Amino acid sequence: MRLFCFFWIVKRILFVCLGNICRSPLAEELFREKVKRLGKLDEFEIDSCGTESYHVGEMADPRTREVATENGMNVQHHARQISAHDFQKYDLLLAMDKLILEEMRQFAPLHQLMDKVFLMRQFDTKGSTSQRVPDPYMGSIQDFREVYRILDRCTDGLLDYCLQMK
């Protein structure tokens, strides 16, 4: 539910991946940085989570934090699992791939709330044919850098979309 605060509207954005230690915390921080640069942090609530509980409470993967640092950011997020409440609280939920989107269904308290869920790649400014932000967990630091480049474009597209949201 969008929160009306006297003169402005708070847009609530949630990034969702599997473990909440690689892709979604990086997306969360990239998006927060862009919102911050626009001086609009008070207009957004931004968070991330995972569909699985494997890493709950853990800091982001060291490679996620390394890539963030390379790009002047600091990822401080601790992993958490998605809950039914997230579907009520957030306006937009961004799934990193179709499998995650399908997994999210079991957490949605009402199936209509899945209307708030979008694939992250839909916002890729490069107009990618792939629908996935690839899972870099079993990969190398280069895979994390590629995920960063994809998320950088997708968060640009998402921010444009959010700025047009009523």
Site for ligand 4NP, rule CB under 6 A: 17-23, 50, 54, 135, 137
Between 17 and 67, CB nearer to ligand 4NP: 17
Which residues touch 14 (CB under 8 Å, ≥6 apart)?
Answer: 46, 47, 48, 49, 82, 86, 89, 90, 92, 93, 94
* Choice among 17, 22, 154, 162 that is catalytic: 17
Q: In the bound complex, which residue of the shown chain has the CB atom lying closest to ligand 4NP?
A: 19
Q: Please, what is the minimum distance in Å from the beta carbon of residue 47 to ligand 4NP?
A: 14
Query: Is there a catalytic annotation at residue 23?
Result: yes
Between 74 and 164, CB nearer to ligand 4NP: 74
Q: Compute the distance between CA of residue 5 and CA of residue 112 in angstroms, rounded to an integer.
A: 26
Q: Which residue's structure tokens are 């895979």?
A: 143
Q: Please, what is the minimum distance in Å from the beta carbon of residue 15 to ligand 4NP?
A: 10
- Please state the separation of Cα 109 from the chain's center in Å: 20
Residues annotated as catalytic (active site), given as ranges: 17, 23, 135
